[in-house]
Amino acid sequence: MPATTLKQAQTDSVKRRGNAAKNWLPEKISPLSANARVAIIGAGISGATVAAELASAGMLVTLFEAMPEPAMMASGNLAGSCLPVVDRGNAPYNQWYWQSWRLACQWWERQEDRQSLGDLSGAFKWSRNASKQSTWHQWIEELNQPALVQWQAPLYNAPDIYGVHFKQGGYFVPKQVVNRLLTHPRIQLRTQCLVHAIQQEGHAWCLVFDQGLTETFDAVVLAAGASAADLLPEWKDYLQLNKGQVSHVLSRDWLSPPKMVLSYGGYATPAADDVICVGATFEGNVPLGLTQAGQAHNLSLLRQVLPQALKPEAQPVGGHSAYRVMTSDHLPLVGQALSVPDYQERIGACVLHPDTCPDATAALKSNLWFSLGQGSRGLTSSFLSAALLRAQMTGQALPVSDKLKQAVHPARIIFRQMVQKALK
């Protein structure tokens, strides 16, 4: 075969394989018009970041929130850390959170009066675990960005505690951040407005409220955190709830109050009004509410790494509990929604041979989008999620590589679960 024909044949084959591989991560995007009317369900950090992005793109955004104010559920902590993840080498997981963190920092730097939104001027992350230390160390060496992240050893005069100094790590005050994001004039916020159901009407979506009232939008973004599966029960299996509790400790109860975020398995974040947040428990799908056991856990985790930080008699004066929404791979679900049963039916026979999967685009739900499953990193990860959604919904260039887009594609976790079942 002549060289050019051979090359063409190889290219065609790669293209075919590429297209076939995409069949199990279906995509069929018809960009919305610049002034489309979009409803976002949920005014936490996910909904607010998407609202700001879409409003900046010219869309008319209505944000529906069941609670009396934005940011009262998972995004309702007094303060939360904003840091990348360093645990998994160069995997998409690390890359996603690194890029998200950079975007969050850039957003913060653009804000006027930014100290009221938090402080991204330094955070320490450390561990006594030798294997963790070695993974982090290797990652920092490879990354080689000393202006952003540096290896720090030893910390706090403890010879076995090593860690990482993120020069632009820090904390956000989520409520303030959410309120700032919602100031765009093309965003309308409707609080105490529970969406009972969403119904597809051709390419549009109808939202159903109390007393059967309805309103129709060109597109809907579901950013409803722990309640998302109430609106789409078929997604319940893929959105695991994990209760978390943070404890509030007054600064006067510290011998040395943290001046920046300390992350050590738990975390301590300096916050406004002389209250320091110490977090956080991971308790699974148990009822919400502050418990003494949760408070004791948070303080004991802190005392293990920093025995001299708190006064011996220090006690929490309050706290906050909410559900994190976790996915099986700890990455969020960002992108176009799809019907789980339709998808399973189309892909079922070929999960062990992905190259042979038929086109599954018919399982996609036109003009319904997700920013869900932000887990324990939503204050970092929502910013990139929103930028990716904006690009997908408007047909603009993506802010991430194809690999990262696929790493957060909502279909991937259905697909993986099907593979695991097929292998059993």
Ligand X SMILES: Cc1cc2nc3c(=O)[nH]c(=O)nc-3n(C[C@H](O)[C@H](O)[C@H](O)COP(=O)(O)OP(=O)(O)OC[C@H]3O[C@@H](n4cnc5c(N)ncnc54)[C@H](O)[C@@H]3O)c2cc1C
Smallest distance from the beta carbon of 45 to ligand X, in angstroms?
4
The structure tokens 């004039």 sit at 185
Smallest distance from the beta carbon of 330 to ligand X, in angstroms?
11
Q: Which is nearer to ligand X, 75 or 133 (CB)?
A: 75
Q: Which is nearer to ligand X, 51 or 347 (CB)?
A: 51
Q: Are 111 and 179 in contact (CB under 8 A)?
A: no
Smallest distance from the beta carbon of 352 to ligand X, in angstroms?
33
Nearest Cα neighbor of 178 from 168, 189, 193 is: 189
Q: Which is nearer to ligand X, 301 or 351 (CB)?
A: 301
Handedness of CA 207, 211, 212, 215 (dihedral sign): negative
Smallest distance from the beta carbon of 24 to ligand X, in angstroms?
26
Strands (E), 76-223: 80-82, 118-119, 123-127, 149-152, 162-166, 170-172, 187-190, 197-201, 204-208, 214-217, 219-222
Q: Which residues lie near ligand X (CB under 6 A)? A: 41-47, 64-67, 72-75, 77, 80-81, 194-195, 223-227, 231, 244-246, 267, 279-280, 322, 324, 374-380
Q: Which is nearer to ligand X, 45 or 310 (CB)?
A: 45
Strands 219-222 and 364-372: parallel
DSSP string computed for 60-87: EEEEE-SSSSSS-SGGGSS-EEE----S
Smallest distance from the beta carbon of 86 to ligand X, in angstroms?
14
Smallest distance from the beta carbon of 90 to ligand X, in angstroms?
21
Smallest distance from the beta carbon of 379 to ligand X, in angstroms?
3
The CA angle 166-372-32, to the nearest 5 degrees, is 110
Q: Which is nearer to ligand X, 245 or 392 (CB)?
A: 245
Q: Which is nearer to ligand X, 360 or 386 (CB)?
A: 386
Alpha-carbon span 83 to 124, nearest angstrom: 9
Smallest distance from the beta carbon of 44 to ligand X, in angstroms?
2
Alpha-carbon span 420 to 424, nearest angstrom: 6
Handedness of CA 271, 372, 136, 109 (dihedral sign): negative
Q: Which is nearer to ligand X, 162 or 267 (CB)?
A: 267
254-260, Cβ contacts within 8 angstroms, sequence gap of 24 or more? 254/309, 254/310, 254/311, 254/314, 255/308, 255/309, 255/310, 255/311, 256/308, 256/309, 258/309, 260/119, 260/121, 260/122, 260/123, 260/124, 260/169, 260/170
Q: Which is nearer to ligand X, 27 or 69 (CB)?
A: 69
